[in-house]
Amino acid sequence: MKNTKLFMLFLTGSLLLAQACKKTSNDALNVSEEKKTVELRQGYYLGSLISYERINGKNIFNGDMVIPDEQITTRLPEVTTEGHGPAGAYKWPNHKVSYRFAAGFTTSQTNTILTAMADWTAKSGIIFEAVTSGYYLTIQPGSVNNCTVGYVSGATMNLSNPEAKGIVVHELGHAIGLHHEQLRADRDAYIAVKWDNISASAQSGYNKLTGMNYGGTTFDISSIMLYGSYNGYGAINSSLPTTTRLDGSTWIDNSWSGTKSPSTKDASWVKTIYGI
C-alpha cells in the first residue's frame, strides 16, 4: 500500500512537471513569436531609392533579395559606381561560389539543388564548390524562398520549395550576384509597370536600380530573374498584373512554369562580369 501511494505521488508529480514544461515551452514560443517584427523602410541601394522590409533584423527587398545593412544608405551617395557593389566587390573570388548545405533537405531535394547548380555551370562557367570553412553560402530549408545577393559575409539562401528547380535556379542567380530583371535601368523600353496596381508602400520597390552593370546585355523577357506579370511584389489586386509588355500582353514566371533554367543573356551577364 505504501509503495502504491508513493507511485501515485510520483506519477502526479511527473504529470505536473510535464505540464509545467509544456507551459514553459509554449511561453517561450509565444515570446519568440512576439519578437518577430516587420517594419517598412526606405533607403538608397545601387544608386536608387528603394523600399524594403526589415524582418527580424534582415533587409528583404523586392520579395526575396536579402540586402546587408552596409549596402543600404540613408542618403544618395555623391558618386555611384556600376557593378553589384563598389568596384564589383560582391563577386565571388575566382568565379567560384563556395557553399554548405544545412541539415533538413531530403536526398531528392539536395539533388534538385545540385542540378540547378549544374545548369548555371554548364551555361555560364560559374563554379559551385562544397566547403566547410571560410566564406560560403549556407543553403538551408526555410519558410520562404530568399537569398543574399553576391559575395557577402553571412551569405544565406533559404528555400521553402527546394524541390522546384526553377525557384532554386532563380535564388542561385541572386547568390551569384544577379538582381531582378524588372529593376533594370532599360526596362521601360520593354515593359510597363502598372503603378495603379502596386501599393503606395511598395512602389519604390519598383524603382530602377541605376547603379547596376549588366555586362552589355539588354532586357531579357526570358530571364530566370524576371518575375511574372502576376507574381509582382506589392500587388493591390493579385488578379491583375503588376507588369506587362508594352502592348499590354503578359508573361508567366519563368522560374515556376517557364524555362526553369538560366537564359542565354543570364549566362552572358555572368560570363562578362566574372570574366569567364
pLDDT tens by residue, 161-197: 999 999 999 999 999 999 999 999 999 999 999 999 9
| pLDDT at res. 47 | 80
| pLDDT at res. 96 | 97
Annotated binding site: 170, 174, 180
Question: How does strand 58-61 pair with strand 48-55?
Answer: antiparallel
Catalytic residue (choose from 34, 129, 171, 181): 171
Indicate whether 6 pLDDT > 60: no
Contact status, residue 203 vs residue 234, Cβ threshold 8 Å: yes
What's the pTM? 0.81
Grid cell digits, residue 99 = 557553399
Q: How far apart are the first and last CA of the chain?
A: 83
Measured between alpha carbons, how far is 43 from 111 in angstroms, rounded to an integer?
38
**What domains can you pick out in the chain, each with its CATH number?**
38-85 (no CATH), 87-176 (3.40.390.10), 181-274 (3.40.390.10)
| pLDDT at res. 258 | 72
The dihedral through the CA atoms of 276, 257, 110, 137 has a sign that is positive
Residues 6+ apart with CB under 8 A from 122: none
70 included as an active-site residue: no
Annotated binding site for Zn(2+): 170, 174, 180
| pLDDT at res. 186 | 93
Please write the tens of the pLDDT for every residue from 98-154. 999 999 999 999 999 999 999 999 999 999 999 999 999 999 999 999 999 999 989
The 3-state secondary structure of the chain, one letter per residue = CHHHHHHHHHHHHHHHHHHHHHHHHHHHHHHHHHHCCEEEEEEEECCEEEEEEEECCEEEECCCEECCHHHCECCCCCCCCCCCCHHHCCCCHHHEEEEEECCCCCHHHHHHHHHHHHHHHHHHCCEEEECCCCCCEEEEECCCCEEECCCCCCCEEEECCCCCHHHHHHHHHHHHCCCCHHHCCCHHHCEEECHHHECHHHHHHHCCCCCCCCCCCCCCCCCCCCCCCCCCCCECCCCCCCEEECCCCCCCCHHHHCCCCCCHHHHHHHHHHHCC
Bridge partners (DSSP) listed for residue 65: 61, 147
Q: What are phi and psi of 52, to 5 degrees?
A: -150, 165
Please write the tens of the pLDDT for every residue from 11-24. 444 433 343 333 33
